[in-house]
Structure 1
Amino acid sequence: MRGVALATTGLLLSAAAVGTAQGETRAAQPKPPDIQAEHTLKPDKDIRAGRIAPTAAQQGATEGAVVRWNKLGTPATVTRAGAPLDAGLPNDAERAARAYLTEHRDLFGLSEQSVAALERVAVNPIGKGAAVLLRQRFGNLQAGYDGQVAVGVVGGKVVSVSSTLARDSAAPAPATLSQDKAVESAARDADMAVSEAETKRTRLVAVPTPAGVRSAYQVTLIDSGGSHGHQGDAHGEPVAVNSYVDARTGEVLIRENLVDHAEDPRWDVFPAAPGYSSQDTRDTWCFIPAKGCDFVVGGDPATGKAWDVDHATGAPTNTSLGNAARTYENRASGDPFTVGTRTNAPKADRRYRYPWTNQWLREKCNPATLDSPQEADLEAAMSNLFAMHNRMHDWSYRLGFTETAWNMQSDNGDRGGRAGDPEQGNAQAGARIASVRDNANQITPPDGMPAITNMYMWQPVAGAFYSPCVDGDYDMSVIGHEYTHAISGRMIAGPDAGWSGPQAGAMNESTSDLFAMEYLNEYGFRPPGDTRYVTGAYVTGDPKAGIRNYDMSRSPLNYSDIAYDLVGQQVHADGEIWSATQFDVRQAFVDRYGKGSKARNRACADGRVPVGKCPGSRRWAQLSFDALLLMASGAVSYVDHRDALLAADTIRFGGANQTLIWNAFAQHGLGEGASSNGPADADPVASFASPRAKNATVKLRPSGDAKGAAVRLYVGDYEGRAMPVADTDPATPLGDTFKIIPGSYSFVAVGAGFGHKRLSATIKPSTENLWASMTRNQAAAANGATAAGDGVGHAGLVDETEATNWQSLTAPVAGRQVTVDLAGDKAVRIGRVQVSAMLRPTQPGDPEHTPGGSQNRFSALQQFEVLACDAAKADCSQDASFSRVYTSPANAFPARRPRPRAPELIIRSFDMRDTTATHLRLRVLSSQCTGNPAFAGEQDNDPRSTTDCTAGSARAALVRAAEFQAFTR
């Protein structure tokens, strides 16, 4: 997907009215925001069925290289560890790429004429080398999707190849469908109304498929929003698609979702974010050095012109309009694709200083501020957003996001690429619409079509999201995140395609977090947060993890955790796996090359120092940009992207960093044996072994009650929906032994009848046993325990997996209970329980069910008590026979603003006084909605909404728990 939003767009819906305790009807509440895209929009699709197997001749032509094959019968990637794929080629990058393809045409199943007919798309420099992108033609039609090859070349050597070439290069049958019919078909497939699409672009191209090449229309549609309502709401989810419609049948072959939700001038800005007071701490940024300037931004990297200059006329616009960015007010529109018309108030002296009083926070989201004389600091917001977009443009330009890499500019001069597509920024987007809150998104069509970013106001919403009253136009970690969707979406796979598929979408989200972080780091701008690596700390009010589950520098995630989150396979949460991995790759570069002084980092970021003489983080950032250019397709897995980074290092730095890259990847499950069945694989194979390290051989050894039993082992903190690394069950193919790069790790051991056991170990480079001492779980169905009581899904509490759960859908939640008849006929001693409040993807029967959605986070268990009964002494079918033996802490599952998250809900252990019982009862005291003080009370001055979760949300009637386990010790 070309531009997946930090928070899903589409906070344009209103919930049904909620009655008060007295039966009065309140105003309609804002729809709970989909902050992590928990209710997904139209997914990417590719219906081209089948797969062409490589021929024996192709397989025999690999010559020792590692080849992964695409569905069109040609190599998807070609790599060779530690050595080039070919050498002695011409020094000219394009000639070298063509010479390689000609010499190895048998590997690709192409004729010499087919190779010669490949047309040049771009040659982008990577240090002393280049990424050469070539494209097929089929008859007189250009390949529109696939049909490309990216060749990494340096010094007459080819070091990497990524390809979507087709063996069949014949011209397709000619089009018989009209363009209008193709547009209608694309719109129908995307649930759009053609009449409401404000942007329509079509062109006739060729699309290779395993069944042959087809002529197709590439149709780009952007819906104005009014026709795409959901559940009868007035404003619909944003829709922008790039579709390929069979030009003879009208069938939509491929659909890509484009939403990812005078004197020298001076700007007053917040470099990272303001504080939560009304103190104006803005810096003054200047075009050239001058008195009173806090920071000199310089000019456009290609022309030296100031940000506010119209490159067509050479004159300043005196407002928030420039060549790289154009920024508007768009408060009245709930449509994310509409660009506002009001720009900053013109400044003839080009002093873009507008008053700022933090009015939205100071007056606690009072909508009256929008019409006050200060207008909730609107002018300052527009100016800040304009400056930040220009900063991202200039920073990324020096890392390779130039005209030939399809960047966003109104005028490109004679430097390549398509013009007419500056970043269109909407400040305070949708602010007048109560349901449009807590969001940010980026919409990035193909090169030559303007991209749009929307920055929203943030406000607490009952049972959905509890942010402070702040304006997103001031949080650079969010602005930089959104702009990076355009960077990565344009650079990967050429000018007309983008990221595609769940794993690719996850890396898209992660890359946005990483690049925003790196921009701020290189210039020494400290965003709020416990560390400088937290995304969205300002807009969420959470300094620990911001908008994410984890601070990327403190994350336990690895590749075996794909789909770990409440939603299952989901781009934001899974993206954190790539962020944790890439952060450690970055740290390895810092450890080797230093972190640099403030002055040195800024000099590198401004391009005044060659990257080969820069600190480690800049070298990592450069390789991350380079790698995007080396992938001919956006439908990539984590493994594909890993290989592109290794190839980029070989091209730019001569492979000097292969060991540190491999070792960091291996620590996060992306070692030499990692594999994935494409970008949509929810169960990829993780590998923790590095080809550049002395790996340990580890044998899982269950002990205690579990000695000799079947036990699964997971690396990290998660079991539900994660993939094990070892298994002592002889009936499974996994085996009890695995290789892992030395280091410190956490593990979870799970066995039928033994519950969950958390382990930690420092693994040394040797052969060793990992002992998992486990105790019999008396509340396990595997041991004969049964569960019954309120609600549904009782078995989910005793099945020893967090992938299922029990739920009660009846108010009040306090007092809802489930009784577990423990294993065996005799009373047993219980001294400890383990409980999980983990949620899962929704299913039919869940009140909030939507495909690809999750159970509402605020329905998770918060506080509970345990009661016991001994059937030898009392009738355990009677409530009076149970006595309370344990009351959990009020924050048993310690969720914090802005909402409960997976790491706060997973299984926890609670020691209790020893009790002897045949039955245990889990009784709810509160859910996150009804018991967590962070989500209680009136938290704003907006008369249109109630923020108290119990009073203002239907989620107050729901409570869920995933596991109840009981042990003697």
Structure 2
Amino acid sequence: MSPAPAAPPPLPQTPPRTRTRRRSGTSARRRGAAGLLATALAVSVAQLPLSSFGADRTGPAAAASRGWGDSPAGLGDLDTRGTAAPTLTQRRAAAALGATVRWNAFGTPSSIFSPSGSLGSTGGADAVTAARDWVRTHRSLLGLSSSQVEGLELVNNQKLAGSRARAVLLRQRFGQLSPALASMVTVGVADGRIVYVSSSLTRTTGTPAAPVLNAEQAWLTAATNVGERLSLSDITRSVDPVTRGDWTRMRVTGLAQEQLARLRALALADGTVRPVFETNVVDVQGGSAKAYTVMVDAVTGAVLHRENQVEHSSDVQPFNGEITATQCGPRHEFELTDANTRQIAVVASTVNPANDITIKLFGANGEPLSSADLGTSPETLTYAPGGTLPKGVYATQVCPYESPTVPFTAPGTYTAVVTTSDSTGPQAQVPYPPKWAFFTANPSLDFSTDTVPGNRKVGCWEDQVDGARVPGCDLDLVNLAAKAPWDYSFDSQTPTFTTIGNAANTHEAWASPLTPGGLFQAPVSPTREYTPAFTDAWQNSRCNPANLVPGGNDIDASVTQLFASHNRMHDYSYFLGFTEQNYNLQQNNLGANPDPTRENDPEVGNAQAGGVTGASPASSAGTTRTRSRCRTASPASPTSTCSSRSPGRSTRRAPTAATT
């Protein structure tokens, strides 16, 4: 490995952000291979925005969210390439062609197609020759000069599956550099015709200057732009006999993944071309994911383009991480893209609720803004200092409490959700409704080792939201006994995003038949979808102890099953008189019983209790909480039981999954 070079000269500030609205294309029906090709190409080049289903809710009041500010999905995308309009010459060429032409942000055609299905004949030529001939003939429409047309390089001549049609991809080249983004044209050829053309070409007149920065300097600039606090001394260039393209590969102290940079060209809408380093800044460790592709000007060091490469399945962008007894999790960055935000709310929940945590909030300049420790998990922080907050990149961090009342117990996995608002009213922007997958009684009785019971149901807290049916719901669970979804904490006024709620607290307990003990595994879902797959691993492996490894033996499904069963028992027995006045099991009695000794006692569920030791279930003396244990079966005892006991009370038996 070779050392990193000396520090670069001071770099100017990043140019201001500009935004380009993404457009999604539409397509009409076509006949034959030409229609199939046109549709396929249209879909492949369309940029479709993400959307989400349903309303957002948190607790008992299922009110529609309103007044929300920015979505905390890490840093937003940045694009400073600018925009340009098509010239009069281009518009006249489009009119003369008689086709439908749509324009991109660079003033060149984003798509060209004809209602007749043909933009011209190939004259019997092969696909590549026909594509080049068409581009040459219509260079005025595309905004290219003759020399630029001749300089287009062939990237691909792709045959479409199940068809003789081909897509020919040509690319602009700027001096000795290939483009980092865009600057391409795709020509669809089928049945002797040109049937579709799409492009991201730029009307350029310049050539890129020689670079001043090197790969390490450019990568460090990109890393600083996305919030990493590093220096050149942290970077070591990788030496590997295997050549991987023209990437410079680097190892960076504190980052788990190899980092990449390569020299490219970036064409701007004003016709200039800048030399840039295409850099990848990636850090995926401790449960946190950060990945950006950043284009850094190789002369000035300005960040010209940035794209957040982390994709989430929900509009609410959660963060995940891990703490230890002494170390905080990573700083999770999010961006306020305007100056209208009045409130930031953070919710964090540990997989092991006994681990006390603190939430910290940092401002746009890295300065501490606030911290919170309510002595609970989940933990909440609300920051509303009065007035609006300046736009910029903020961060939140989850840390272990400095003076815990009980020792830290691994794992320290947590999930956190950040919401921002343009008002200081109640926050409600979390996924809703929550869902749980469970057996309503017992799995279907099939002792084959090749099958999986198929009679699990998905229960949703509500199966209709705002009059719309929620997909995938078999059961509607909402009821007055629970007063809020099963995963809701009245102490923090937020969901827990795991199998902790007001009536039940459920985790794996492989190491102890009497108390919570083991890895404390439990499903954690930022989307509140507690529907892990159930494979019947214990039964189908004939009770093989090798299943008892982290994440194995259907543990998440088993914990979910026990959690759902305890909540169903709570809700059913409530209407039989087992209420706050009669010693029912709840974390918070919501004022229904003024005696403080009658709360803080949710049902503690120990899933697969003693599964590693093989011990049988027994009651625990001296406890003030009711504990329920579900143990795994053994070959000599091919059934499983769940028992729930508290001092001086009789045992309740509940149906459960065979491997719970």
Range class of TM-score, shorter chain: 0.3 to 0.5
Superposition TM-score, scaled by structure 2 size: 0.39
The two structures have a TM-score, normalised by structure 1, of: 0.27
Q: Computing the radius of gyration over CA atoms, which structure comes out larger, 1 or 2?
A: 2
